Structure 1
Amino acid sequence: MVEGLSPFVRAVNLGEKLGLGNLYLKDDSRNPTGSFRDRAASLMVTWAHRLGFKKVIAASNGNMGASLAAYTAKVGLACKIVVPKNVDEGKIIQLLIYGSEVDEHGLYLDDAIEKASEIDGETGVYQATPELNPLSLEAQKTIAYEVWEQLGRIPDVVVVPVGSGSCLYSVWKGFKELQGAGLASDVPRMVAVQAEGCAPIVEAFKKGVEPMKLISPKTKATAILVRKPVYGVEVLEALRDSEGAAVAIRDEEMFRAERELARLEGLFVEPSSSSTVAALPRLLETGFLEPGETVVCILTGSGLKAPSISDFLSYRRRAVELSPETGMKVRILRILAKGGRHGYGIWKTLRGAISLQAVYQHLRDLEKRGYVESRRLDGRRMYELTEEGRQLLKVFRVLSRR
């Protein structure tokens, strides 16, 4: 699907504002499904297909799931993605449109990973959770190869958003391999960026200890909302070996950087990606960065997956809540989600909110759209929810909780 070799952009306008003359953006949001995870999906799905697996499973807080859903659809494999409750709605919708089965489990990615690791014992299921499959690292390290090739040398500093830690560790692995192969004489200083409300690696780096599992982390940058990073130890080693740094950024700073990237460089990325840009002023203030150094920020995902424009989201919610017709159809779907019913049974459950005739009209509309199916049973018509109907309910559940 033509993933990789993503644009390497010199951020002239942003660099001028920050006082960095050699600022570059490695824009992996331009991959087919809008994130760096397409690299891993391509390799893992190829491997699963060649080995004869019929189904792929993974835990994901959005990007990896969307990538796997698209790539499995391409080769005709079934796909099941376990997501935590804290996932951007755009990513859920992306999963569903590719036809993936979606299972919600727990509040955080850590919970979803545990669930996915339990399920992968099923016959014919390939485990594609990036935190559980080392092939993801092999795929993602190509980011480092491309930076070296596109820049023509090793940069001084590489800034990476960190959730589970797989992206930073992958990139570090790539630079170390370039050095080991004699293609580069040195490696860059690595910088890990986390949300202030979810910064186990930043805290561990400051204290010189291993990452601790957080109790109730909070950030609107859900792509990096992880209680205990699986690759936390490896990330800390990379930071210390490279004489790097770890920075915690407030959500407000990410959103501001998101707007600056869009307005100064024409790039719309998700908050976790813009965190790398938000960290630059802090790194300059502390003296970690020198104005003349070559800096590369890794942009991991598209802003179209996680719009931060609150007015847009509130409009979406109002559209769902204020439409009586849509609301009634959703109520009928929720009734059918509990089991098949006759039209009269649905009407009784609704307690006369609408006429029996209106119930049947809604059922005909839903059946026409493929969300409901019916059959004759004992001389009466029984209505049941289709898989498409179940997926639609999941979309409404996501919208209603935002």
Structure 2
Amino acid sequence: MGVMNELINRNTVLSLAGLLGEADGANPWVTVEESAQRVDGLQLRARSDLVAEAILRDNALRSGGQTVGSVRDGRWGSDAQDDPSYGRLAATIRRALRSPDFTGWMIWPVSEAVTTAALRGWSSDSRETYARFDDGLTLLAELTPRLTAEFAIRRFLAADLDRAVTNILPWTANHDEHVRRLASEGTRPFLPWAVRVAALTSSPERTVPILDALRADPSDYVRRSVANHLNDLSRQNPKLVVQTAARWLEEPDENTTWVVRHGLRTLVKRADPDALALMGFSDATVQVSPMTVAHETVVLPGSLDFSFTVTNEGDAPVRLAIDYAVSYVKSSGALAEKVFKLSTRELQAGETLDVHKRHAIHQMTTRVHYAGTHLIELQINGRRYSRRAFEVEIPPELAPS
């Protein structure tokens, strides 16, 4: 994360302070300038929070108010008389957007500051907070072409999912692909590195209208987000996902098959029968040879080389989803399985396919390996074949601590 942390560095913050000052009638944003001297040594998220708080403090001083709380706890200006003016902040940021230099990672703390100010004292019974809520989302859409606001909008979704989605849905027709993607990406139930929104995970159907509007988007950038979002939904409601994909396939365009296939990838790996059927992976009559492995023991860092053959013994062509599952040894000694995509092929009647694969095994931040007996098993159209055991040895210098 060292290099990532430097995405918001001293020069980035000083540039931000200068741009805000220019947008604010050449008035210096002193607290933001001072925060530039304190970002060194902090993680990227902490740097963003520090600068966002500085933005809110400078804005509060110009508005005649005081600040309460922090960006993380969302209590800035919780007393109405201490309100750092959202309107003043929004106007300053919109003027700053006139400069092409107001872009890149400096936008992350800006979007967090906007969200905190817009949601200050949020109440679903207040006309004033309604207006700030709506304009806050609009301002995030204006900012997102400079740097995605997909993380900042999560707090709006958590505050009032229905109102947020009502505001977000028109973005699907925006001329800018970044705004259209924000509609899909920002509302993903399991957006990587983002806070979970309970209302999204408990109501997966709520974002389907957004996906319906974007599934045939002209931008691959947007369509990929739609597919990933659909895949997220499969963790809550597989039936809803298959039904949605089936609707799309009834009126396909040239990209629909890819979007559906990518959106159903987890269900196919899980051998969901409805997803397999929708993608044309029938219960095929195939003969699978015993799996062979190049070495019974893998020493890290290394790889497991394996091979096998598949023969279509039926009298008609068959479409095959060929995957494999590896059961890894956990720190407790138990096994944890992960399914990997290998190939999608169509075999004619009587045709045999030779398959060779090298599966890398090395220590990663996302998967720590432990020594012991592992398992590998083939999965073809949801059915399991040819399980093999293999050993993993780890040199002392690579052993987990």
TM-score higher than 0.5 here? no
Higher RCO structure (Cα 8 Å, ≥6 apart): 1
Q: TM-score, normalised by structure 2?
A: 0.27
**Greater CA radius of gyration, 1 or 2?**
2
Q: TM-score, normalised by structure 1?
A: 0.26
